[in-house]
A and B are shown apart, each in its own frame.
Chain A
Amino acid sequence: QKEVEQNSGPLSVPEGAIASLNCTYSDRVSQSFFWYRQYSGKSPELIMSIYSNGDKEDGRFTAQLNKASQYVSLLIRDSQPSDSATYLCAVIFQGAQKLVFGQGTRLTINP
């Protein structure tokens, strides 16, 4: 079982709708959670970081963390075609000195 798992997609969402991206992680003590957006051939771009249970909102993006369920999600409201990209979930487990990435979910926003 991979330490960080995402549905690879593709996930197709109509423009203006809410895109919901999910990520689960292994049963290890974890301390930091991140969502990165990556366009094809480009570097990962940090969108959201979340460190404690609950919701964190930043503009059209909301990250949700539930440590009891080992689950972190990203909601994108009012989806735009420019949101079409691969979204990478990353976790830092306690004591580790690296980001552990999921495989990424490819999101397509249809005009």
Chain B
Amino acid sequence: EAQVTQNPRYLITVTGKKLTVTCSQNMNHEYMSWYRQDPGLGLRQIYYSMNVEVTDKGDVPEGYKVSRKEKRNFPLILESPSPNQTSLYFCASTHSGRAIYEQYFGPGTRLTVT
């Protein structure tokens, strides 16, 4: 089944404790992206990647890192999480190397930082 998977789905952590949210897709998609969704602010892009070893900042990259060592995986790293990073996170992918076509979303990761 073609899908985007994320792990963990739910995470409660404390300020400053490094964490990684994994994202994997089995559709051989070139483009992958991370979004966060907050009430009143909607969905905003954090980082994106147009191919292996090619990443760039989105609208809200502060406090986040990403890597794209393999085509299928695009992990989101929070080196020192803070409470303002409490949010619902979504990974998305599309077959093109550019973001002009349909993007398919993973199931989401609900992160709480205390």
* Chain A interfacial positions (CB closer than 8 Å to B): 31-32, 34, 36, 41-46, 49, 88, 92, 96-99, 101-104
Contact = CB atoms under 8 A, between A and B. Distances in A.
Interface string B11-44: 0000000000000000000010101000010110
Contact of B103 (A41, A46, A104): A46
Interface of B: 31, 33, 35, 40, 42-43, 45, 48, 50, 56, 58-59, 88, 90, 92, 98-108, 110
A84 B90 CA distance: 21
Q: Could you tell me the dominant secondary structure of chain B's interface residues?
A: strand
A97 B98 contact: yes
Given A43-B90, A96-B99, A98-B58, A88 B105 contact: no
B108 A42 contact: yes
Contacts of A34: 102-103
